[in-house]
Amino acid sequence: MLNLGQEHNGQGLPDSATEVGGLENLEIEIREMRPEDLDGVLWVEQSSFRTPWTRTMFEDEFKNPDMAHYLIARCKEHVVGYMGFWKITKEAHITNLAVHPAFRRHKIGERLLFAAMRLARRLGMERATLEVRASNEAAQKLYEKYGFQLVALRKKYYNDNNEDAWIMWMNNIKAFENIRPE
């Protein structure tokens, strides 16, 4: 049961998974992001990144519906994760993948990745790429598990601390049609 007495930024957002009914038997819905989801997306974004995107940055993505594609993961009425990519020719350029810390380790990120790659395939994309912090080994392992490969290093890519970024590519989005998340 949601405890409305403990709000995040006055938005009525949960502070923990227990406020949406606990972590066991999480019922997660994956769907396309809508403008009304932004408060929840920003809650996830701000809890996940040192230099979070702003509301305006996400609003700008909605202005490019042929290029920008975003999905959310919801638990009950709350956004607990999201993922986005840009369609650039036949490539999906992954912009973001985030799950709120209270909801991590429950395969929500995997489900978002699968849903996004299947959407990318339906939109005619053949390959996917992304940048990931060199220190983010958990994300690298997730991507490698599903066919992404480290191909190059961008030195001092992240401007908050000059951390390097690994560039990863997956050359066969179609492979996502034949496998299921564990």
Q: Which CATH number is 139's domain given?
A: 3.40.630.30
pLDDT at 159: 84
| β pairing state of 91-99 and 127-133 | parallel
Q: Does 16 fall in a domain? A: no
Which H or E element spans position 144? helix 137-145
Q: Does 11 fall in a domain? A: no
Name the domain count of the chain: 1
Q: Does 59 fall in a domain? A: yes
pLDDT at 24: 56
Tens-level pLDDT at each residue, the chain (182 residues) = 222 223 344 345 555 554 544 555 678 999 999 999 999 999 999 999 989 999 999 999 999 999 999 999 999 889 999 999 999 999 999 999 999 999 998 999 999 999 999 999 999 999 999 999 999 999 999 999 889 999 999 998 888 888 999 999 999 888 877 766 66
pLDDT at 4: 24
Q: Which domain holds residue 165?
A: 27-177
Q: Does 40 fall in a domain? A: yes
Angle between helix axes 38-48 and 55-62 (nearest 10 degrees) is: 130
pLDDT at 11: 47
Radius of gyration in angstroms for the set of CA atoms belonging to the chain, rounded to a whole number:
16
Q: Does 150 fall in a domain? A: yes
pLDDT at 84: 97
How far is the C-alpha of 175 from the C-alpha of 180, rounded, in Å? 10
Q: Does 34 fall in a domain? A: yes
Q: Does 63 fall in a domain? A: yes
Q: Does 78 fall in a domain? A: yes
